[in-house]
Structure formats: C-alpha cells, structure tokens
C-alpha cells in the first residue's frame, strides 16, 4: 500500500462505484507495458490502492475535488491497451475507470463530440449509421477508448490519409476537468486542446473530445504477397508496391502495412486459417482500400510482382474477428510475442523523401538471418535479429512517410541500445518505447511548453499519476 488514506476517501463518497479487491486492482493497473522487458521490470509491483468508475461528470468532479483536498493521486484508465505503463499508477492512489462516460454528445456537419470513455469501435458503429466514420484509430479500436487514444496514442488505421490524430483539423476541441478542490470544466479549442495530447493523462482529465470525421467507405481488405524474383527481393517489391499505392491519388486508402518475411509466420503459427494468405518465404503487404479501388490495387500488385492471396469485406471481416487491421500496427508485435516471447519492439519514423532508402538500409544492416537461409519459422533461432514491419502514413505536416515497428530479438539493454544507435546513425528517428516517463519517448527528453502550461493550469498539485513526469516541479 502507498500510504494514501483511500478508505477515508471511499467513506466520504459511499455512493460511487468502487473496486477494492487487491488482485483485481493489480490486474487493472497494468497495460501492455509487458511488450518491453525493461518496462516490465521498472513497473513491477506498481498499482492503485482503489479503483472507481464515475457514472457521470458530477461523480467525476466529486471524486476529483475530494482527492485534491486529501492530496490523493489519480490515474486515468481507458481500456488499458497503452504500451508504456501509461495507466499504471506509479505512486498508488485512485485508478479512475473512464468507461462509463461513453455518450455521444452530438454529431452534425461531419463533426462528432463524445465523452472520453467511449470505445472507438462503438463510436464508429454509431457514426457509420449517419454515413461517417473515424478519420484515424488504433488497431485496438474494438476496446480502446477515445480519451485513451488522445492522451496515450498516435493514430494508426486511417493515418495514411489523415495523418496522426494530432494533425491540425483532426481534433477540433476538448473539455477538461481541473484537479483542484473545486474542479472546473474548461473548454479548449484547436491547439489548446492538443496541448493535452500524448501526455499520458498527466496534464489534465479529458472529459469530451470533438473530432472531424471522414465519409464512411465500404472498405476492402487485401493481402498481396511477394517472392524474390530476379534482381528484386520480395521485401523490395512489397515496399515499392506499398509506396506507389500510398501515393496513388485515385485510390482511397485506410491502411498499408508491409511485413517482411518471416513476420507473417507469427500469424499463421497461431491460426492456420491464414496459411493460404501468407505462404512461407513471402513478404506481405496488408492493404485496406475503398472497394472502388480493387481493380487498381490488383493492377499495381501485378506491376510489382505481387500476388493477391486474400480479399475480404472489412466490415464483415471485423464481425468475424478476421480483420487484417488486427495484424497491423502494434498488433503485429502482439502476434509476435505470443509465438516468440524473446522478442520486443521499437517505434521508428523515417524521413520523407528518404524513407524507402532508410528502410532498406536498416533492413539490410539488421534484418538478415544469421545463416542467410531465411527460416520460414519466425521463432527459429536463425531468424534475423530485427524483423521489419512498416506502415505508410502521411506525416503531421503532410508528406508521405513510413513508420516502423520492428520486432527485435531481446538480448539485453546494451544490445538494444546498440540497435537503436545503429538506426539513428542511418538517420532514422527512434521513439524509444522502453521508457517509463512521459518526456522520454516521443518528446525526446523535455515536456513541450504547451503541455507544461496545461499542467500548471489543470493539475497544479501534480496529482495526475505523479512519478510519470520525470521532472517535477516543472522548471520555470
Ligand atoms: C496490440 C496493440 C496495438 C496497438 N495499436 C495502436 C495503434 O495502431 N495506434 C496507436 O496510436 N496506439 C496503438 N496501441 C496503443 C493503444 O492501444 C492506443 O493508444 C489506445 O488508443 C489507448 O486507448 P485506451 O483506452 O486503451 O487507453 P489507456 O491505455 O487506458 O490509457 C492511455 C493513456 O491515456 C490516459 N487516459 C485515458 N483516458 C483519459 C482521459 N479521459 N483523460 C486523460 N487521460 C486519459 C491514461 O492515463 C494513459 O496514460 C496499440 C496497443 C496494443 C497493445
């Protein structure tokens, strides 16, 4: 226990929906930080003293006010699919399950306003009834919440067209609750709202978000596989195909991923239904395009030596739990770790205009199998130290780039640091996902000024998961 008097807190608000069972609290305090052996160790034993599930804004404010008076820490929890122990309370206190704050407030003119606890899959289902859909969502869309995406995520599915969620025009506004004895609800617009993005819930409690929407599309999922032919490697073909498709202005896209061999084997090893789609010794492109683009994608695939091995209606595939969207982004890491727990991952982004050259360079340097024979089994000891998984997106300022989530055989912190250095030496940006502090991942060491200003305004007592920010008090 952390020493916070949560029993007195609970007694002061008896009508709230509390959870006190220690085993459940230990479980609910965890996210997917176990993808990192380093975070797994750093975060061991960290957990909440109590959890509460506010049913409305009134209950949330009662709780926050009481915690502020008693100086008890609060940690926000969406669906706990974050990757960095983002919703793990570092110094105990109250875990706040936002899941009951799940209403759509309004939807009109291509814009929706919804409460932060709504699940993205449920939100998208409601939107599609009106002919709209989310512009971008993580591959965890089935369970992940809107607030969790905004405070902890990046984007993902849809970012090939709309960029990351932080690209101007995607998030239009937010309301936030301040952590003080008399909590206030503040309305933040545009850049002011974005100051709360990706701070892992440490700079403000997001109550509602307003998002610009995309027109709903009948999406089609295709798997295109590539073998080594002539001068071109299968991976080279898949990469060039993915890039050309990403640039093709007439084809409406939702996702383009490239999995270097033997990464698709992580999926087939778990579910042999996918064996036809992912034959051994092939690299694969996983694409989701508007149904109208089918013919053009097939023509492009043929031009680059690819073969279409799977095609499905995306809505139907999601209903049957067979969507390739759940093989993209960090789902590829999840599949890999289920088969080969000795692996971990990195998060990288490549420079616009040089992205293909950089991907090839890191793949050449770290992606070769140790015996040169490319084993079909991704868990084989000879499989390459770093297996490549690329996603195409538009960057925050527009140009096409690649992101990569390479799967790294973990041989200790020192070797991981060497690989990161090797990537950086080739000009690749690595957002090290093995750090437990907000400042040290994407922000490169320092909290941005706008985030620091939001923190001063919305959490002056530093009660939002204290210990998650490496630096407190904030420098003047
Ligand atoms: C298999 C897998 C695949 C993934 N794919 C993607 C992907 O494609 N793209 C991507 O961006 N991410 C991805 N992620 C990471 C994660 O799933 C997403 O970021 C997701 O949107 C998080 O939502 P959540 O509800 O689970 O948030 P949680 O994990 O519950 O919370 C995330 C952070 O947000 C904070 N938070 C939650 N609600 C609020 C609130 N209302 N106000 C303030 N702070 C709040 C929490 O304190 C925490 O710091 C993936 C993770 C896994 C395990």
Ligand 1 centroid – CA 82 distance (Å): 4
Q: Is the CB of 86 under 6 A from ligand 1?
A: yes
Closest Cα to atom 15 of ligand 1: 82
- For the CA of 464, the closest atom of ligand 1 is 47
Q: Is the CB of 88 under 6 A from ligand 1?
A: no
- How open is the CA angle 341-347-349, to the nearest 5 degrees? 150
Q: Is the CB of 85 under 6 A from ligand 1?
A: no
- For the CA of 465, the closest atom of ligand 1 is 47
Closest Cα to atom 37 of ligand 1: 148
Ligand 1 centroid – CA 360 distance (Å): 30
Residue 24 CB coordination number (10 Å) = 12
Q: What is the pTM of this model?
A: 0.98
51, 82, 170: residue to mutate for ligand 1 pocket, most atoms within 8 A of CB: 82
Between strands 253-259 and 389-394, the pairing is antiparallel
29, 152, 210: residue to mutate for ligand 1 pocket, most atoms within 8 A of CB: 152
Residue 52 CB coordination number (10 Å) = 23
Ligand 1 centroid – CA 153 distance (Å): 5
Q: Is the CB of 153 under 6 A from ligand 1?
A: yes
Cα of 72 vs its chain's centroid, Å = 29
Ligand 1 centroid – CA 342 distance (Å): 24
How many whole angstroms separate alpha carbon 276 and alpha carbon 15?
55
Alpha helices in 382-431 (DSSP H): 413-425
- How open is the CA angle 202-204-206, to the nearest 5 degrees? 120
Per-residue pLDDT in tens (0 to 9) along the chain, 476 residues? 689 999 999 999 999 999 999 999 999 999 999 999 999 999 999 999 999 999 999 999 999 999 999 999 999 999 999 999 999 999 999 999 999 999 999 999 999 999 999 999 999 999 999 999 999 999 999 999 999 999 999 999 999 999 999 999 999 999 999 999 999 999 999 999 999 999 999 999 999 999 999 999 999 999 999 999 888 899 999 999 999 999 999 999 999 999 999 999 999 999 999 999 999 999 999 999 999 999 999 999 999 999 999 999 999 999 999 999 999 999 999 999 999 999 999 999 999 999 999 999 999 999 988 877 788 899 999 999 999 999 999 999 999 999 999 999 999 999 999 999 999 999 999 999 999 999 997 788 899 999 999 999 999 999 999 999 999 989 88
- For the CA of 155, the closest atom of ligand 1 is 11
DSSP-assigned beta bridge partners for residue 186: 176
Three-state secondary-structure class, residue 173: strand
């Amino acid at each position: 226990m952390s020493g916070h008097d949560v029993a007195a807190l609970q007694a002061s608000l008896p009508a709230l929906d509390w959870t006190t069972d220690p085993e459940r609290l230990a479980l609910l305090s965890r996210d997917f930080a176990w993808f990192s052996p380093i975070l797994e160790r750093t975060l061991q034993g960290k957990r909440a003293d109590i959890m509460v599930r506010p049913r409305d804004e009134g209950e949330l404010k009662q709780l926050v006010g009481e915690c502020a008076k008693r100086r008890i820490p609060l940690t926000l929890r969406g669906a706990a699919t974050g990757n960095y122990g983002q919703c793990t309370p570092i110094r105990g206190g109250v875990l706040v399950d936002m899941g009951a704050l799940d209403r759509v407030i309004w939807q009109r003119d291509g814009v929706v306003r919804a409460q932060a606890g709504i699940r993205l899959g449920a939100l998208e289902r409601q939107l599609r009834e009106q002919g709209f859909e989310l512009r971008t969502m993580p591959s965890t869309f089935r369970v992940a919440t809107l607030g969790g995406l905004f405070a902890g995520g990046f984007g993902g599915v849809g970012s090939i067209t709309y960029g990351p969620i932080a690209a101007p025009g995607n998030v239009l506004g937010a309301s936030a609750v301040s952590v003080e004895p008399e909590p206030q609800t503040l309305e933040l617009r545009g850049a002011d709202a974005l100051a709360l993005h990706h701070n892992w819930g440490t700079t403000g409690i997001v109550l509602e978000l307003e998002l610009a929407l995309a027109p709903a599309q009948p999406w089609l999922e295709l798997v295109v596989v590539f073998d080594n032919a002539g001068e071109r490697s299968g991976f080279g073909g898949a990469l060039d195909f993915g890039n050309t498709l990403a640039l093709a202005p007439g084809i409406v896209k939702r996702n383009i991923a490239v999995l270097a061999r033997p990464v698709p084997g992580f999926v087939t090893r778990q579910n042999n239904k996918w064996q036809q789609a992912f034959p051994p010794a092939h690299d694969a492109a996983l694409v989701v395009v508007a149904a109208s683009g089918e013919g053009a994608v097939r023509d492009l695939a043929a031009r680059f030596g690819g073969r279409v091995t799977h095609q499905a209606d995306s809505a139907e595939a999601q209903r049957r739990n067979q969507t390739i969207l759940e093989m993209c982004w960090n789902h590829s890491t999840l599949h890999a770790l289920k088969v080969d727990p000795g692996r971990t991952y990195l998060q990288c982004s490549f420079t616009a205009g040089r992205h293909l050259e950089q991907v090839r360079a890191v793949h050449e340097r770290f992606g070769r199998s140790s015996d040169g024979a490319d084993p079909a089994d991704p868990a084989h000891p000879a499989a390459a130290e770093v297996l490549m998984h690329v996603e195409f997106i538009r960057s925050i300022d527009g140009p096409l780039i690649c992101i990569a989530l390479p799967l790294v055989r973990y041989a200790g912190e020192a070797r991981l640091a060497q690989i990161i250095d090797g990537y950086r030496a080739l000009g690749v940006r690595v957002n090290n996902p093995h750090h437990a502090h907000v400042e040290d991942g994407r922000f490169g060491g320092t909290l941005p000024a706008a985030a620091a200003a939001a923190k001063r305004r919305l959490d002056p007592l530093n009660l939002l998961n204290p210990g998650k920010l490496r630096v407190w008090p904030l420098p003047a």
